[in-house]
Each structure stands twice: as structure tokens, then as C-alpha cells.
Amino acid sequence: MADDTARATALDWYVEAKGEDADYAKETEAVATQMVNDFIGGEANPYGVPAPVLARAVLEVGADLYYRKASRNGVVQLGGVDPQMFRLNRDPMVAAYPLLRPYLVMGL
């Protein structure tokens, strides 16, 4: 079970990266982790965001950053049965904001 949990929170597994792309995914995961930690106030997690929420936020930010490699001018086409073109967000944190905001203290 622990192995399944680790796999499910690894960016290379999430984006199905293989070979050299897996190395790039690991680097991207480190950047995404730093971005999420900076947003929540540091690695110490001062607001007590639950670990599963943090892990999901890192996956979402990491996937956005990872797919930028395959995009040209912010437009990407992913494989599949019926691939469609779509535009990537300019801010890779867009998917993480709604996950993290409920746990952060907002100013008055």
C-alpha cells in the first residue's frame, strides 16, 4: 500500500514519463514542490495543509510545468483516442490555488 501511495504522488508516474523524460519529470517535481511550499509559507507548512492536499497540489503544478516542454507558444496536443489542442495556463499554480486556499489564513 505504501508503494502505491508513493507511486500515486510521483510526477513521473502521473505524467507517464519514460527514459529521459522521467529525469525531466523529477526535476520538474522539485520545482513544483518549491513553488507550492513558497505559496503556503514554507516547507514547515505553518497553516497545516494536509499532506494529501499538498501532494495533489504538487502533482497539478508539476504536470503543468512538465507539459510546457511539449508545448509550442503555450499550446499543447496530448495523445489519446481523439487528441485535441489546448492552451496551457500561464501561471502553473492555477490548479493548486483552489486546493490550498481553504487551509490558508486570509487577511481582513
Count of alpha carbons within 13 angstroms of residue 13, beta-carbon side: 8
CA quadruple 38, 27, 70, 89: dihedral, nearest 10: -10
Examine the pLDDT at 70 and tell me if it is beyond 90: no
* pTM: predicted TM-score of the whole model, two decimal places: 0.77
Helix-strand-coil split of the chain, %, nearest 5: 55, 5, 40
**Rounded mean pLDDT of the chain?**
82
Examine the pLDDT at 65 and tell me if it is beyond 60: yes
Residue 1: its pLDDT value, please? 40
91: left (phi over 0), alpha (psi -120 to 50) or beta: beta
- Assigned C-alpha cell, 75: 499550446
pLDDT tens string 21-59: 999 999 999 999 999 999 999 999 999 999 999 999 999
Examine the pLDDT at 79 and tell me if it is beyond 50: yes
